[in-house]
Structure 1
Amino acid sequence: MQTMKLKFRGGAMLLAASVGMAGLAMSGNVQAQEDKGTVTLAYVEWVSTVASTNVVRALLEERGYDVKMSSLSGAAMWQALSYGDADAIVAAWLPTTHEDYYAKVKDSVVDLGPNLEGTKLGLVVPSYTEMDSIEDIKENPDALDGQIVGIDPGAGIMRLTYDVIDEYDLDVDLRTGSGATMTAALGNAIKNEEDIAVTGWTPHWMFARWDVKYLDDPKNVYGGAEKIHTIVREGFQEDMPEAAAVLDNFHWSPEDMEEVMLMNLEEGTDPLENAKKWIADNRDQVDEWLEGVEETQQ
């Protein structure tokens, strides 16, 4: 975030300073304050994580923190947190998807609890597809050109999908890529009314844009509903109690997240500016998150 430096002379300086102080009296709990230090947020370039991390960034910047964003792979995100190179993440899918990551670093991080509930993982197909269950893929793998389209190889859903292929004895390959390449493949298939299966999760903007469905998972390999947790490095709550309280209070719904994700998909839009717009449009809800935060100020 760039800071504009203004030069004033004589009485104009005093007048401008008075106006500037008045400008700090913003609505709700918004506090444009002096710099309180730097908070580093680690994240993965998933559309969902970009949305949530920028909302948290905007909230912390409102309260006077300098926020740095660190884009990493899933494994590196957790490692940075455990080493203290990052202060927080708001993208921990527990208890299943990030189970392995969390197990390796749990003694050097602190789980602040869920910031979103109602998640789901699975294989997603267009609703016009005749397949309704993962077991149906075994009967006709050629319908999918012998592949399931996935995302980046470090994602937990990819590990689970390899397990799905083994458990259901599917004669298909799992294609790695990114969230963007996965949704591009899905969109192209739907445009041409072709069959496709992709690794999917809720919340995701694909469910708002297209008519798609999950394949049933009778063996429950993907597990039940999960929650997305906020995790901070060990010692962060003591070092920056107010920032930690903001992170602890942050909690929204899949519908909230999907709204911001769709905003971010518009060509040329800035995720941080979209986060600020969403906050302004949902000020009452955001102010509820910030109730009591003043009590933890340093």
Structure 2
Amino acid sequence: MKALTMTAALLAATALPALADDAATCGTVRYSDPGWTDITATNGVAAVLLESLGYTPDIATLSVPVGYEALKNGQTDLFLGNWMPAQQKFRDDLDAAGTIDVLAQNLEGAKFTLAVNKAGADAGVTDFADLDAQKDAFGGKIYGIEPGAPANQSIQAMIEADEFGLGDWELVESGEQAMLAQVSRSGDSPVVFLAWAPHPMNEAIDITYLSGGDKQFGPDFGGATVHTLARKEWVAACPNAARLFSQLVFDVPMENVLMGKILDDGADAKDAAKEWLAQNPDAIDTWLDGVTTLDGRPGADAVKAAVAG
């Protein structure tokens, strides 16, 4: 796959031994899901791969702050959803603790910032600085995701600092699906909300990403990379599984497909992943290079057999 970066390839080739058998204690792999469909999709891919290799995935639904604490305290082994730079403060905390390895940059080309629907763009809002003049049309509300999410915290800080004149606006916190349902219900009424790619919302909704939010979300409309983090102790104890995750690298089109299956078709994340894997055997060869099953058999063959059934 094009998304397999040279950095990830070098890491896989040099940092972790090939065909490394894991102890039976590595059989359960614990990781978390903040309730975002993109991470649910990639977690689903990981679960299918792990199960095909004889491991048991244990996925806990945890908010972003709680998920990072769980990783820091050894309650989970991995996190596939470290969005940077939006989650920089959590990374700073983990880096200071010295207990975490960055196994891979698993996605590039992502973005994450405020956006408006077609009615909002038609009202002339294309930049953060345009919002306050249209406060009444927007109801003075900005729709965010789940409470505690770093993006929500950035919005709340912007409101409290009265940046762009938004000091009297309200942040409405909800989950991803509730937020998107609000956008869908808005019809011809302007609405401003958190938007990101990859996500099928970019196909289903006429979205205009707002410029001007570099301070809050970073340049290039909150341009982001996503990273896989793991506990150092787990990496050392379970080198075979760690090698898999060091090579597990995605791309935006792939995630859009998987997320569409989950959101639009109601598919289970693992079912969507299994279907995609069956149609993309080259990805299996890339991700499973040098990886074995838990009992030491060739990993790629095991995964191909599992998804073909």
TM-score by length of 1: 0.82
CA distance in 1, matches of 2:185, 2:281: 37
Mean CA deviation greater in 122-131 or 59-68:
122-131
> Contact conserved, 2:27 with 2:56, CA < 8 A, in 1?
yes
What is the CA–CA distance in structure 1 between the aligned matches of 2:269 and 2:67, rounded to whole Å? Answer: 20
Moved more, 278-287 or 140-149: 278-287
CA distance in 2, matches of 1:203, 1:219: 19
Q: Distance in 2 between matches of 1:195 and 1:127?
A: 7
User: What secondary structure sits across from 2:35 in the alignment?
Assistant: coil
Give yes or no for the alignment of 1:121 onto 2:98. no
Residue 174 of structure 2 corresponds to residue 177 of structure 1? yes
* Structure-2 residue corresponding to 1:46: 36
Matching of residue 132 in structure 1 with residue 126 in structure 2: yes
Counterpart residue number, 2:75: 85
- Secondary structure in structure 2 of the residue aligned to 1:124: strand
Deviation at 1:50, TM superposition (A): 0.6
Give the SS at the match of 2:30: strand
- Higher Cα Rg, which structure: 1
Where 1:216 maps in the other structure, the secondary structure is coil
Q: AA paired with 2:107?
A: L
CA distance in 2 between counterparts of 1:221 and 1:41 reads 28
Deviation at 1:286, TM superposition (A): 2.7
Higher RCO, Cα 8 Å, sep 6+: 2
**Amino acid aligned to 2:110:** T
- Calculate percent identity across the aligned residue pairs: 27
Which has a greater percent of helix? 2
Matched, 1:141 2:132: no
3-state SS of 2:107 partner: strand
May I ask how many residue pairs the two structures share in their alignment? 262
Q: For 1:3-82, what aligned pairs fall within 5 Å after superposition?
A: 37-82=27-72
Question: One-letter code of the match for 1:215?
Answer: L
Q: What pairs up with 1:275-290 in 2 under 5 angstroms?
A: 275-290=273-288
How do 1:212-251 and structure 2 match up within 5 A? 212-217=207-212, 219-224=214-219, 225-251=223-249
* Counterpart contact for 1:108–1:234, Cα < 8 Å: yes
Matched, 1:211 2:206: yes
Distance 2:37 2:213 in 1: 28
Q: Which runs of 4+ in 1 moved over 6 A?
A: 295-298
Residues 162-217 of structure 1 deviation map (CA, whole Å, 9 limit, x = unaligned): 2333322213111111111110001111xx21100001222122102121110112
2:132 maps to a residue whose letter is K
d(CA) in 2 for partners of 1:194 and 1:140?
12
Q: CA RMSD in A?
A: 2.1
Asked if the contact 2:107–2:249 (Cα under 8 Å) also holds between the matched residues in 1, the reply is yes
Aligned residue for 2:190, secondary structure, equals coil
